[in-house]
Structures are given as C-alpha cells and as structure tokens.
Amino acid sequence: HLQIVLASRPDGRPAPANFRVARAPIPTPGEGEVLLKILYLSLDPYMRGRMSAAKSYAAPTQIGAVMEGGTVAEVLESRQPGFVAGDIVLSHSGWQSHALAKGDQLRKLDPAAAPVTTALGVLGMPGFTAYAGLLTIGQPKPGETVVVAAASGPVGSAVGQIARIKGARAVGIAGGPEKCAVVRDTFGFDAAIDHRAPDFAAQLAAACPDGIDVYFENVGGKVWDGVFPLLNTFARIPVCGLVAQYNASGDFEGPDRLPVLMRQVLSKSLLIRGFIQREFIAQRPDFEREMAAWIASGAVKYKEDIVEGLDRAPEAFIGLLEGGNFGKLIVKL
C-alpha cells in the first residue's frame, strides 16, 4: 500500500522534496466500509493551495498526511450494502494505492456509459466547474465573445465549447502552438492565441474585434493584463482560478492597480464574481445530463493526459502548474 504524503510546505514552486513516499499495510474495512484499489488519480491545480498553510476556502493538508485528490477506484471488498467487489466508483481517496471509504462518499460509475476517467475530467469536477461558472455567472448570449485561458485543459476546453453551444464566439488562450492548434481544431474555438507570444496582447485584440463580453478567469497574470482593456460594458468575469500566481510567495510586486480596476468596474458596469464549484452543486444533475448528451453528439470533445505510476504524481503535478500537461492530467496507477 503506497502513499504519497506532504513532506514539507513549498515556498514558491513545489519541489519533489515536498513529497514523500510512504508505505502502510493494506487496511481492513469495518462495518459500512469498502476497501478500494485506486485505478486513476486526478491531479488538479487546487492541490497547490492544500500544500500551503495560507488561509483559503479549504483547510490545508497536514504535514505527513496523504495528499488529497479525486480518484476512480475498484471495490476489492465491501462491508457496505449496495457495493460489491468489482464495482468501479468515484471516490476522493487521494494520492495512494488503496483506501477505505464509506458508501456515502462513493459514486458508482458505469464503465459501459463512458470511459471511467471522464469522471475526473469532462464529466466530473472540472467539466462541472466550466458549466456552472460559465452559465450561471458568465451567461453568454448568441454573438457575444467569450475568452478563456488554459484553453486546452479540462475547464477551459469545456468553457469554450459550451460558449459555442450557446451561440457565442469562443477565443482560447494557451501556451504554445501545439496547444493552440488543438484548441482550434479539436475543440472548435473560433480563435486560439499563444500567451507566450511577444505580441500576445495585440493578437488577442485582433481576435476580439467586438471586445470581450465574458472573460472566464482561469489564470490571472499577463493574460488578465491583455484582457482588461478589451472588456465591454456589462462584461461578466467568473473568477474560477489564478493558476499563474499559485506558486507566488509573499507580496506581489509592481504598482497598485486597484484604482484603475475599480474605475473600470464602475464605468463599464463590470461583474466580477469568484466562485468555488461546490456552491452550484444543485446544478450537478443538469450538468451530468447535458454534458453526457453533448459528448454523445460530438458537440463537446475532451483530451486527457495520462501519466503512468503513482511515483510520477509529484513531477506531473509540478508541471501542471506551469503548463507541462496537455489535457486533463490523470495518473494511472
């Protein structure tokens, strides 16, 4: 029974030494519990927040504790009615090879309905984040321009594709020409811009001739600087993530730009609203129904980046924060 635990808290970019491999005996399920063998582990940007002691919307992982994370697992042994050995379930078992769970912490998956890895991506938390944040806060209308960065990832790719289903134009931002090609050709965005290009802001402006009506904020940093002057009156900005600054330590450098931001919020009647996907949990059944139908019809495509071996989770996760992944990052155990 292998586990990856948090060995120390990173200062800035996480390093492999912040993680440690631990071994423990395979646990025995008690009454009402099942024993799980983890098949797939989801790696997500929020895990950087759990590594830090800074106050956030969720408690930090304790030093020495198993890193948390969403997982797809097989039931090895069940002492919980409704589950039998061989069932495939969605659980939140973290970075380890085996785990115990209670029945109410599990959702059964039907491997015949969809590849089980999609429960960690397009049909799971990231897909739901895109759906709920875009439709509830962003509210794209036909003909409007929707911009999203990290556009080849699970959240961004779903945002652009749902925007197009709603009749809006989708402009994606991604790191490098290969990712941009997938954003355009596989995910069907109207345009894709490389945020590493020296003339990124000019290219973004050219791709948004009518300005930006919805900016789905995934990254912050330079991308925000390019987007900000293009925002239209009544633009909506769901603030979903700020991955460009998750590794930042201490105070941010530079002049205080808050007065400029607030002036535009007022004069352009901007709506800027942060959210954590769980707030919208009541929409989950609608999401599951609609997203499954969009995948079946081909209106939504997805891309997964599968890394083999739990021992590779730390390096894969470190890369995720810098664009090393190409699609939904999943570890196959």
Residues at the site binding ligand NDP, with contacts judged by CB under 6 A = 44-46, 126, 129, 149-150, 152-156, 174-175, 179, 195, 218-219, 221, 223, 240-241, 243-244, 275-277, 320, 322-323, 325, 329
Shortest distance, position 37 Cβ to ligand NDP, whole Å: 25
Distance CA 193, CA 184 (A): 10
CB atoms within 10 A of CB 67: 22
Residue whose entry in the numeric block shows the structure tokens 């098949």: 39
> Radius of gyration of the chain from Cα atoms?
20
Nearer to ligand NDP, 97 or 129 (CB): 129
Shortest distance, position 27 Cβ to ligand NDP, whole Å: 29
- Alpha-carbon distances, residue 175 vs 161, 179, 291, 319 (angstroms): 18, 6, 26, 13
Specify whether the CB–CB gap between 129 and 240 falls below 8 A: yes
Helix (H) or strand (E) holding 39: strand 33-42
Nearer to ligand NDP, 129 or 145 (CB): 129
Nearer to ligand NDP, 86 or 250 (CB): 250
Shortest distance, position 141 Cβ to ligand NDP, whole Å: 23
For 328, phi and psi rounded to 5 degrees?
A: -60, 120
Distance CA 65, CA 49 (A): 15
Shortest distance, position 320 Cβ to ligand NDP, whole Å: 5
Shortest distance, position 298 Cβ to ligand NDP, whole Å: 21
